[in-house]
Chains A and B, each alone.
Chain A
């Protein structure tokens, strides 16, 4: 709105000495002018344009490459490829998706380990060409039969390659993918269909119902049985509480014990009822089975409910593929992980990441803004304040794992244990810490501490950017210092504070190292925010996308199959951070419009 006159004046004043060579400093002298007219290339500034532009280009190129890698690999993970059946010279039959190719130079030691006939073929192929041999990376699935998910196939060893029409890919709840052919559909152990087309029609007919029953069964086992055991546990803790507060044998203790006895009776009845329901569902599901066979003829019986998704890969049209693709994305975003996180969805991790980031922002903003207010508005400028400011800035350079150690040592083991002693003595007497261990609250506070310097520094800058004329105007109206800060300075600085929040969120959402110590879990059975009273459970440990990524990439038993998921998860994490940031940026631009700040 109001262009600062001093800055306009200052610009040429700054630029002049920078451009002029030192010898010709005085621009008014004739000698200086002559020196500049001749001019070197450097003084014209042209190389500087290229230098600065080049630096920006390199930085951008690196970022774009990284993003392009993640986006391209992450987006293609779920696209269903064709299934290729390969017969090798050794008589092996393999069925799978080709996920990669490469050329390599076979060495003699490697060839010595191969069967002589294969080695001879490879050697001949290498000799015919430039000494290298092409091979394919085939995702074969069938881990339960073949004990491997992937296999290298040397091109010279391929005798026959086909794309069988009825080759199918079956995603199972356990053991991963199955590649093969459907033999028959069994109901109550009797085949109802044996022709591929008929088998898949029957499959479609029964699959959805079977999955529904499974979902119902999961809910019963988790939700209903969980609620029952929670109620009983509460009653049990009440007994301990009564004993701890009123002493053993007191009326309160006796009453609690009687209540526990009642609860136990109820629990037994309730458990039996739920178990019966589960049993009925299991029995019904056991009736439907699919008989599958691998490419080399080994048969495998799979209950229908175990099948997440099945399709005949080579019969799919492009739109069918898109359907499978989207359905896989849907599962990824909304389902829970299975098979040691390498399959299924990441919903709990998304939930945990978002909840933690929001909690962190809620914690860091008031704290950081108040600290910055004191530093900028109240503290008398001088050595102590400068030292403090440098210390705060340095805090941003402390390795994040150090914050994790601090969080564990201070929040969990000091504050958390005190909280447990005060509020949860019954749980503590059973050696089950509530707040005395990692959890959403402590993780959020640890990250808040980690991002505090960012918020303080940006807030301070925003406060400093509030024009002095506005403060003076307010003082002249008879406002006190706090009234001026609260009514004029803070609203005006709010967009700048939002900048700090954006930076803090970007930093905090992607942080993993400290979370490993203060609450992130490989898999958490319960969400930190859910439908059970009191809805927000800050003591619970949680899943986090960043940690999930690490776990997937480095701790997965099936690392080859998990690798595409690593890229997809990374893409998702970036997308979530971007969404959070865009939300904050929009909020900031609304604030800017409201308070007439052009940029802070």
Chain B
């Protein structure tokens, strides 16, 4: 429907740094007066009409060194288009949050990064992503090898039906690693990295399913970082956890910052503001605004972003 229009370059010219911050108006907004309410709703309305709307991407993002580039990415579930021309860099060593109302395509975008959507037969994509410069889509890409370069943590903790130890070293096991010392070392390092070592060091050979819900999720994080991933993907990792376990995971994400590049989907606005360095606001398959979390929460360029963050819609 909007294919023809969405060919427009959404991020045509990098805006000059000087005008990015002081000015509330975005450099590439379609609407000339984004602050005015009628025009703001006009943006949502044009999206609803299926017209292309360019993303507002702050300069602070583009200045960062990116570990992952998403380039004009579009995705269809059968006939239904779920992602519209998404282009965004994911900064290295930072925590990037994807927020937005339900069904806006956050999880779909996340699962497109490690190509888990390949498991669904009806999914069709256009566009490209580059992980440290290497394309992730295309005929020559080995999906298995690609996934080994990333780690993923799911909404619901999904430890495998095996011991804590085997859970953590799973990705090494499937690579055929047998050296006990290497495995032991990775296990301890990953569990320490996931702030779980002290709790489970005496029960490494008990079933991973015997841990509590929060511990299980941290076990999944340990599993995800065992293979030293270039990007760590987190799909609402705390949505099934109680506040205390959530707090631990959030602290953990803070500790992972710097060492790992984290891309996290969250429903929880406070969580995004607490845990992330950068935040992208998505709406109906499009990235509306993407910038440093502090900027997005305190002085967003778009009225829609402010409305969503303050809870006026979504």
Report which A residues bind B (CB closer than 8 A). 1-2, 380, 467, 469-480, 483, 487-488, 491-492, 594-597
Also in contact, A478 and B227, with CB within 8 A (given A1-B209, A469-B154): yes
A474–B170 contact, CB under 8 A?
yes
Q: How far apart are B111's CB and chain A's nearest CB, in angstroms?
A: 9
CB-based contact B174/A476 at 8 Å:
no
Of B89-97, B142-150, B245-253, B262-270, the one with at least 4 CB within 8 A of chain A = B142-150
- B210-226 CB mask vs A (1 if < 8 Å, else 0) is 10000000001001100
- Top 7 closest pairs, chain A to chain B, by CB: A478-B148, A596-B209, A595-B161, A476-B152, A469-B158, A478-B147, A477-B171
Q: How far is the CA of A491 from the CA of B167 in the complex (A)?
A: 14
Contact A477 B158 (CB under 8 A): no
Docked-complex contact A472 and B160, CB < 8 angstroms: no
Total interface residues on B, using CB and 8 Å?
30
Is the CB of B3 closer than 8 A to any CB of chain A? Answer: no
- Residue with the highest number of chain B CB atoms closer than 10 Å, among A471, A475, A597: A475
Complex CA gap A15/B140 in Å reads: 51
8 further contact pairs, Cβ within 8 A, besides A477-B224, A479-B174: A470-B160, A472-B158, A473-B223, A475-B116, A476-B233, A478-B227, A487-B162, A596-B161
B159 (CB) vs chain A CBs: closest residue? A473
B residues 145-195 near A (Cβ < 8 Å) are 145, 147-148, 150-152, 154, 156, 158, 160-162, 170-171, 173-175
**Docked pose: A479 CA to B114 CA in angstroms:** 12
Residues of A within 8 A of B151 (CB): 476-477
CA distance A2 to B119 in the complex (A): 23
| B171 and A470 within 8 A (CB) | no
Q: A2-B156, A488-B161, A491-B161 are in contact. Are A477 and B207 (CB under 8 A)?
A: no
Complex CA gap A406/B158 in Å reads: 47
Contact partner of B174 (CB less than 8 A), chosen from A467, A470, A487, A597, is A487
B148:A491 contact, CB within 8 angstroms: no
List which B111-150 residues lie within 8 A (CB) of chain A: 114, 116, 119, 121, 144-145, 147-148, 150
A467 to chain B, nearest CB (A): 7
Please report B residues at the A interface, Cβ cutoff 8 Å: 114, 116, 119, 121, 144-145, 147-148, 150-152, 154, 156, 158, 160-162, 170-171, 173-175, 207, 209-210, 220, 223-224, 227, 233
Also in contact, A473 and B148, with CB within 8 A (given A467-B158, A488-B160):
no
Q: Which B residue's beta carbon lies closest to that of A593? A: B207
Docked pose: A487 CA to B158 CA in angstroms:
14
Query: Which residues in B have their C-beta under 8 angstroms from that of A380?
Result: 121
Instruction: Establish whether residues A472 and B162, one from each chain, have CB atoms under 8 Å apart when the complex forms.
Output: no
What chain B residues lie within 8 Å of A470 (beta carbons)? 158, 160-161
Contact residues in A for B227 (Cβ distance below 8 Å) = 477-478
Q: Which residues of A contact B174 (CB under 8 A)?
A: 477-480, 483, 487
Residues of B within 8 A of A479 (CB): 144, 170-171, 174
**A478-B160 in contact given A472-B154, A594-B207 (Cβ < 8 Å):** no
Contact in complex: A473, B161 (CB < 8 Å): no
How many pairs of A and B residues are in contact by the CB < 8 Å rule?
Answer: 79
CB distance from A485 to the nearest CB of B (A): 12
A488 vs B210: C-alpha distance when bound (angstroms): 17
Are A478 and B156 also in contact (CB < 8 A) when A487-B174, A597-B161 are? no
| The residue from A472, A477, A480, A492 contacting B170, defined by CB atoms under 8 A apart | A477
Question: Looking at chain A's contact residues, is the secondary structure mostly helix, strand, loop, or mixed?
Answer: helix
Residues of A within 8 A of B116 (CB): 472, 475-476
- A469-B154, A596-B209 known; A474 vs B119 contact (CB < 8 Å): no
Taking CB as reference atom, which chain A residue is nearest B145? A478
B114–A476 contact, CB under 8 A? yes
Residues of A within 8 A of B207 (CB): 594-596
Q: For B121, what are the chain A residues with a Cβ–Cβ distance below 8 Å?
A: 380
Instruction: Offer 13 A-B interface pairs, CB within 8 angstroms, sorted by A.
Output: A469-B156, A473-B152, A473-B220, A476-B114, A476-B116, A476-B151, A476-B152, A476-B154, A476-B224, A477-B227, A480-B144, A487-B170, A488-B160
CB of B147 within 8 A of CB of A475, answer yes
Q: How distant is the Cα of A376 from the Cα of B119 in the complex, in angstroms?
A: 14
- Give the residue name and chain of the A residue nearest to B213 (CB): A2
- Which residue of chain A has its CB nearest to the CB of B115? A475
A487 to B171, CA, bound (A): 11
Chain B's closest residue to A466 (CB) is B161
**Shortest CB–CB separation between residue B178 and chain A, in angstroms?**
15
Partner of A492, one of B156, B161, B175: B161
Contact of A478 among B158, B162, B171, B209 (CB under 8 A): B171
Q: Which residues from A are CB-within-8-Å of B144? A: 478-480
CB distance from A481 to the nearest CB of B (A): 9
Contact among B156, B160, B210 with A487 in the assembled complex (CB-CB below 8 Å): B160
Tell me the bound Cα distance from A209 to B158 in angstroms.
70
Residues of B within 8 A of A492 (CB): 161
Count chain B CB atoms within 10 A of each CB in A2, A478, A480 and give the residue with the most: A478
Distance in Å: Cβ of B193 to nearest Cβ of chain A: 16
Shortest distance from the beta carbon of A474 to any chain B beta carbon, whole Å = 7
**Which A residues lie within 8 Å of B148 (CB)?**
477-478
Cα-based distance from A510 to B144 in the complex (angstroms): 48
Please tell me if the beta carbons of B160 and A473 are within 8 angstroms of each other in the complex: yes
Contact (Cβ within 8 A) B209 A473: no
Q: Kindly name the residue among B144, B158, B175 whose own CB sees the greatest number of chain A CB atoms within 10 A.
A: B158
Which A-chain residue is minimally distant from B150 (CB atoms)? A476
Which residues of chain B are near A473, meaning CB under 8 Å?
A: 152, 154, 158, 160, 220, 223
Find chain B residues with CB under 8 A from A472 CB: 116, 119, 154, 158
Q: What's the minimum C-beta distance from B109 to chain A, rounded to whole angstroms?
A: 15
* Complex Cα spacing A187 to B207, Å: 73
Complex Cα distance, B152 from A594, in Å, reads 25
Rounded to whole Å, the gap between the CB of B70 and the closest CB of chain A is 18
Which one of A477, A487, A488 has the greatest number of beta carbons of chain B within 10 Å?
A477
Complex CA gap A1/B211 in Å reads: 11
Shortest Cβ gap from B255 to chain A (Å): 21
B264 CB to nearest chain A CB (Å): 15
User: B114 contacts which chain A residues (CB < 8 A)?
Assistant: 476
Q: How distant is the Cα of A479 from the Cα of B119 in the complex, in angstroms?
A: 13
Task: List, in ascending order, chain B residues with CB within 8 A of A480's CB.
Answer: 144, 174
The residue in chain B whose Cβ has the minimal distance to the Cβ of A493 is B161
Whether A491 contacts B156 by the Cβ 8 Å rule is no
In the complex formed, the residue of A with least CB distance to B210 is A596
What is the minimal beta-carbon distance from B253 to any residue of chain A, in angstroms? 18
Chain B residues closer than 8 Å to A488, beta-carbon distance? 160-161
Complex CA distance for A1 and B154, rounded to whole angstroms: 17
Complex: chain A residue closest to B207, CB-CB: A596
A483: chain B residues at CB < 8 Å are 174
- Minimum CB–CB distance from B182 to chain A (whole Å) comes to 17
Q: Which residues of A contact B224 (CB under 8 A)?
A: 476-477
What residues on B are CB-neighbors of A1 within 8 Å? 209
Give Cα A117 to B261, complex, Å.
112
Q: Return chain A residues, CB-CB under 8 Å to B171.
A: 477-479
Contact call B152/A491, Cβ cutoff below 8 A: no
Give the distance in Å from the alpha carbon of A441 to the alpha carbon of B256 in the complex.
Answer: 61
Q: Which residue of chain B is the closest to A478 with respect to CB atoms?
A: B148
Q: What is the CB-to-nearest-CB distance from B270 to chain A, in angstroms, rounded to a whole number?
A: 23
| Nearest CB on A from B25, distance (A) | 40
What's the Cα separation between A1 and B209 when bound, in Å? 8
From A488, which residue of chain B is reached at the shortest CB distance? B160
Q: Give the shortest distance, in Å, between A313 (CB) and chain B (any CB).
A: 61
A471 to B120, CA, bound (A): 13
**Pick the contact of A474 from B150, B160, B175 — CB < 8 Å?**
B160
Which residue of B147, B156, B209 contacts A476 across the interface (Cβ within 8 Å)? B147
Residues in A with CB closer than 8 Å to B210 are 596
CA separation between A478 and B226, bound complex, in Å? 12
Complex CA–CA separation, A380 to B121 (angstroms):
10
Q: How far is the CA of A497 from the CA of B151 in the complex (A)?
A: 32
Q: A473: nearest residue on chain B (CB-CB)?
A: B158
- The docked-state distance in angstroms from the alpha carbon of A101 to that of B223 is 76
Chain B residues within 8 Å of A476, by CB: 114, 116, 147, 150-152, 154, 224, 233
Give the chain A neighbours of B209 by CB distance below 8 A: 1, 595-596
